[in-house]
Amino acid sequence: MLAAILGETKPARILVVGAGGTAQEIIAMARLEPSWRFTAVDPSEPMLEAATQQLEANNLLERTDVHLGQVDDLPPDASYDAATLIGVLHHLAGDDAKRQLLRSIRTHLKPGAPLIVAGNQYAYASQPLLLAAWGQRWRQQGASPDEVKVKLGKILQGADPPHSEAAVQKLLHDSGFGDATRFFSSLFWGAWVTYKTV
């Protein structure tokens, strides 16, 4: 999506928020766009270390600045052509924390720059059919019935996603972004592109 927005083969600096773990976002973007550089931010040292190992294995450390901490910890003059926030918002408790992160990202984006937001968009308990389908998906991937129960119990207690697509839009508007366009949806997950308002 970002390559379609920014234009193919053009140099760009991309802020990747919540970059810890597999580093798949950066790996996928870097393969498609060899002139892009990345700043990977994550507050979890173990998750960021795992991502760093993946970046090293894919020869991407020279194109990626890795920052342990929050977006607010970046230099004030750090400016980016685009940002991604994938699988993060539902880990933040309450709308105030979500807005704070979105506003921090906005501060570091150039005027009119795009933000890709993806994550869960419903309160889990409000969608029993989607929960059941999620459980079946895990079974399909080899999880035992007991493992499915544990996974479902964990997500019901450990996350605070926005409760609707309208709630996602409101968070973005409140944080200085324009109307978001949804380009992906699967069970609880949705993905949107929005732009920093001037």
Query: What does pTM read for this prediction?
Result: 0.91
Q: How confident is the model at residue 129 (pLDDT cuts 50, 70, 90)?
A: very high
Q: How confident is the model at residue 117 (pLDDT cuts 50, 70, 90)?
A: very high
pLDDT, tens digit, 9 for 90 and up, residues 24-39: 999 999 999 999 999 9
Q: Which amino acid is at 81?
A: D
pLDDT of residue 30: 96
Angle between helices 24-32 and 45-57 (to 10 degrees): 30
What CATH number should be reported for the domain whose range is 2-122+161-195? 3.40.50.150
Q: Is a pLDDT exceeding 80 seen at residue 9?
A: no
Lowest mean pLDDT among 6-10, 136-140, 142-146: 6-10
Structure-derived torsion over alpha carbons of residues 175, 181, 185, 187, reported in degrees to the nearest 10:
40
Domain map of the chain by residue range?
A: 2-122+161-195, 124-158
Q: How confident is the model at residue 134 (pLDDT cuts 50, 70, 90)?
A: confident
What are the residue ranges of helices labelled H in the chain? Answer: 2-6, 24-32, 45-57, 94-107, 128-140, 145-158, 165-174
Contact (CB, 8 A) for 183 and 165? no
Lowest mean pLDDT among 1-5, 124-128, 142-146, 167-171: 124-128
Q: Is a pLDDT exceeding 90 seen at residue 126?
A: no
Q: Is a pLDDT exceeding 90 seen at residue 125?
A: no
pLDDT mean across residues, the chain:
93
Can you tell me the distance from the alpha carbon of 18 to that of 41, in angstroms, rounded to the nearest whole number? 6
Q: Mean of the pLDDT values across residues 109-114?
A: 97
In terms of Cβ atoms closer than 10 Å to its own Cβ (0-12, 13-18, 19+), residue 99 is: middle
pLDDT, tens digit, 9 for 90 and up, residues 40-64: 999 999 999 999 999 999 999 999 9
Q: Is a pLDDT exceeding 90 seen at residue 131?
A: no
pLDDT of residue 127: 86
Q: How confident is the model at residue 184 (pLDDT cuts 50, 70, 90)?
A: very high
Most confident stretch, 13-27, 111-125, 126-140:
13-27
